[in-house]
Amino acid sequence: MRIKQGYVQMQKVTKERKQSDFLKKEIRDLSDQISDMKDDLQTLDMYDSGAFDDGDDVNGIPNSPSEEALAADGSSDGAALEINTDNTETVTNSRLASLQKELDKEMKVKDGLERFLAIGQTSRKLQDESKSMLFDSKAKIALLRMQIEKMQRQEQVGAGLSGKTIPTKAEMIVDDLLFRLRKEAAIAEGARNMIRILSSQRKSDGKSLSQAFDNQMQSEEKLDLIRLALAKYSARLPNDSSKKNEIRDAILESERLPLTGHRDRRDGTFSPPISAPGSPSQDDSKSASLPRLALSLKRLCTLPSLAVSGRLEVRLIGCQNLMADIPRRLPRTEVSSVIAIGGDGLSSFTQKARSTRGSGQRASRTRSSSVWCSSYASTTDAVATAKLSPNDEVTATLLLDSREVACTDSRPVSQQAWDQHFSIDLDRSKELEIEIRYRDWRSICAFTIVKLGDIVEPSERAGMVLNLEPQGDLFAEKGKK
């Protein structure tokens, strides 16, 4: 109605015959669209009010003889279920067709406004109004697309689960964690191979080597948390659940990957140095981990992610119940003493990195540098010891589809730790990941992943308590500032 009103106003001030005819045609199309939407709303209202429900009407007369005959045969329950299913499918298909028709017409409105603005032979006020209408039209197109994708996703899920047991919430979380376990394991394997290749070169790129090493250590730290989360959910599953064996096999498979030395093995010792390229142990490691991981990267979750466009206003308030001691994670000094893997080139690079990274406080909040949460001054032992002391200050890093977009300040753990607002532009984005990190050598201690399609419904302000994996709670709020 607002768009039609705007077109009517534009027609009043337009003097060109060609432009006036174009606006007249668009107004006529909008009138037809409004009429169709009113009919669709009336139909949906009739379904919602129960006008098509099974059984007797207000006068006690059966709706159809066929239903009464089915009831006499003792199959009324099954027939009613089938009729209700058909009605639901009819309403869904009708709603999808209505949304698609509305999207097509809105696309025409957008194209018309863009052509009108391209002419540029109108007043400044009319151009501003047209730009505002174009912005609203684009926002409506994005919303319609998300609604259509959401309904199509629900249909796909319903068809996929037809005749199957509906998975529980815990099983769906386990499927998502298993996917992320295999993904991080593949990233760690790729980074390890990159380190081996770069360190074998005579003139290795220090920047690329540093980035590969950071990626490997970060993935292995993330793997620690995912394993702990899987163990937690495995304990909640029934004893006869097939997911238990799947979790055990996935964890054992990921633990066969060679380690960088920043985590101890189950027997309390460090991992041995990586074998030279072409050695039997090296070949066995590659064949035992990478191919299976690569084949297993298909997401096991039933629900596909919904792509969302627009702007997300989020407020991170604080957190609590974080894991203070992360199993199998060692201080950075112990890491540095055993990090010489892959030959003399990498060993010399590591020692150089230890001296250069400690020349001041943490300079940036990029994801690659955040792995080195504890820098060493490399001048006095007192400063190094201070850096190794536990620091309960934490930061929250926001990643949009694995790309860092924002980071909070460092604050002590509490429910009101940060209380910071962030405005994030979304362009067909699917998920927002929030990582919690200590400022000391413990680094990442918890994470949570929010499906943007689950919070797409508009609201002025909505508080959330998000469960962190493997332990903890995150207090956040979405909506306007």
Q: Supply the CATH number for residue 472's domain.
A: 2.60.40.150
Q: Is residue 436 a part of any domain in this protein?
A: yes
Q: Give the long-range contacts of residues 223-226, CB within 8 A, separation 24 or more.
A: 223/181, 223/184, 223/185, 223/188, 223/254, 224/263, 224/326, 224/327, 224/328, 224/329, 225/326, 225/444, 225/445, 225/446, 225/447, 225/469, 225/470, 226/177, 226/180, 226/181, 226/184, 226/469
Residue type (1 letter), 112: G
| Residue 113 pLDDT | 84
| Residue 389 pLDDT | 60
What CA–CA distance (Å, rounded) separates 236 from 238? 7
Q: What is the count of structural domains for the chain?
A: 3
Q: Is residue 475 a part of any domain in this protein?
A: yes
| Residue 177 pLDDT | 92
One domain, residues 77 and 184: no
Give residue 74's region: left, alpha or beta (phi > 0; psi -120 to 50). Answer: left
Asked if 94 contacts 43 with a C-beta cutoff of 8 angstroms, the reply is: yes
Per run of 10 residues, the mean pLDDT along the chain (length 481 residues) is 73 73 79 73 58 42 43 46 57 81 86 82 79 83 80 68 66 89 89 87 81 87 92 88 87 72 41 39 40 44 68 91 83 46 42 41 37 36 49 90 92 92 88 91 90 69 85 84 46
What CA–CA distance (Å, rounded) separates 30 from 25? 9
One domain, residues 19 and 107: yes
Residue type (1 letter), 421: H
| Residue 48 pLDDT | 54
Q: What are phi and psi of 451, to 5 degrees?
A: -75, 120
One domain, residues 398 and 260: no
One domain, residues 150 and 202: no
Number of H helices, E strands in the chain: 12, 9
Q: pLDDT tens across 250-266, in order?
A: 888 887 765 554 444 33
Q: pLDDT tens across 208-258, in order?
A: 888 888 888 888 899 999 999 999 999 888 888 888 888 988 888 887 765
What CA–CA distance (Å, rounded) separates 448 from 471? 10
One domain, residues 108 and 250: no
One domain, residues 153 and 175: no
Residues 6+ apart with CB under 8 A from 68: 62
Residue type (1 letter), 368: S
Residues 6+ apart with CB under 8 A from 100: 148
Asked if 68 contacts 62 with a C-beta cutoff of 8 angstroms, the reply is: yes
- Please state, as a whole number, how many other Cβ atoms lie within 10 Å of the Cβ of residue 230: 25
One domain, residues 8 and 149: yes
Point out the domain boundary residue: 160, 178, 206.
160
Selection from 358, 340, 474 nearest residue 418 by Cα: 474
One domain, residues 109 and 132: yes
Cut 0.85: pTM above it: no
Asked if 460 contacts 436 with a C-beta cutoff of 8 angstroms, the reply is: no
Residue ranges making up the domain that contains 177: 169-295
Residue type (1 letter), 32: D
Q: Is residue 383 a part of any domain in this protein?
A: no
| Residue 338 pLDDT | 39
% helix, strand, coil for the chain, step of 5 = 55, 15, 30
Selection from 419, 401, 393, 410 nearest residue 314 by Cα: 419
| Residue 459 pLDDT | 55
β-pair partners for 433: 399, 449
Asked if 345 contacts 204 with a C-beta cutoff of 8 angstroms, the reply is: yes
One domain, residues 151 and 191: no
